[in-house]
Amino acid sequence: MEMRNFMSLVQAVLCDQFALVCGEQQANLDNGGVLHNFKKVFKLNENVIIGLSGVLEDNYYLFQDYLNLNFELRGDCQDDLEEVFHRVTLRHREMAEQGECAVFSLVCGWNGSAFEGKTFYVDPDNPTACIIADVRLEGPNEAKVISCGDHRHYDNFMISAKRRGFTVLNLQDAFRDTLAMGVKFDDYIDTNAWFELIKRPKS
């Protein structure tokens, strides 16, 4: 695959009380340049967060209903989680059919009764691996971790999260730990962390 503008890691934690999405902020450009402080995690509204990993241009296509070409929010988003799932799924289907796109991104948030998410994966080298994976909680005491990036980042995050604990602040620190370890083997990430959070509405 030709060298293209690329970004590497977003992770999310879903549990009964909140959804936390974490992203580092490096973008590797096709001209050899590197951007830092490039935002990859966006809170569309009080119910939906998106996280971007993979080729920049392909992520713009995937999320163009919500982001402009400068990777800024288009404006006030009134779509609920199900509508965002629907719109992004249609874009993903088009990208999978094109076969030259590369994304590993996520949408998650509050569906009105629980937190849930989806990952959107397109691999130009393996068309059969172009999938959408549902992430749902099975019960109030369960937590799910989504990791879009090198599988070693998932392992490192889980080790740190289990050591630190599953509060929001501890999970943010676990992501920072993951980045500090990850930059030693992954040239596509940095240690600049960005977080977005949705808390369970009070009944």
Tell me how many degrees the CA angle 103-109-115 measures, rounded to the nearest 5. 120
Rounded to whole angstroms, what are the CA distances from 162 to 40, 83, 88, 173? 25, 34, 32, 12
DSSP symbols for 116-176 = EEEEEEE-TT-GGG-EEEEEE-SSTT--EEEEES-HHHHHHHHHHHHHH-SSHHHHHHHHH
Domain 6-199 grouped into CATH 3.40.30.10:
no
Q: Does the pLDDT at position 110 exceed 90?
A: yes
pLDDT tens readout for residues 141-168: 999 999 999 999 999 999 999 999 999 9
pLDDT in tens, 29-70: 988 899 999 999 999 999 999 999 999 999 999 999 999 999
The average confidence (pLDDT) of the chain is: 93
Residue 2 reports pLDDT greater than 70: no
Does residue 112 surpass a pLDDT of 60? Answer: yes
**Coil, strand or helix: which one is 51?**
strand
- Are 79 and 44 in contact by the 8 Å Cβ rule? The answer is yes
Each residue's pLDDT tens digit, 95-106: 988 878 899 999
d(CA 202, CA 123): 40
Q: Report whether pLDDT(3) > 70.
A: no
Per the document, the length of the chain is 203
pTM of the model: 0.95
Name residue 193's amino acid. A
Residue 196 — very low, low, confident or very high, per pLDDT cuts 50/70/90? very high
Q: CB of 187 within 8 A of CB of 18?
A: no
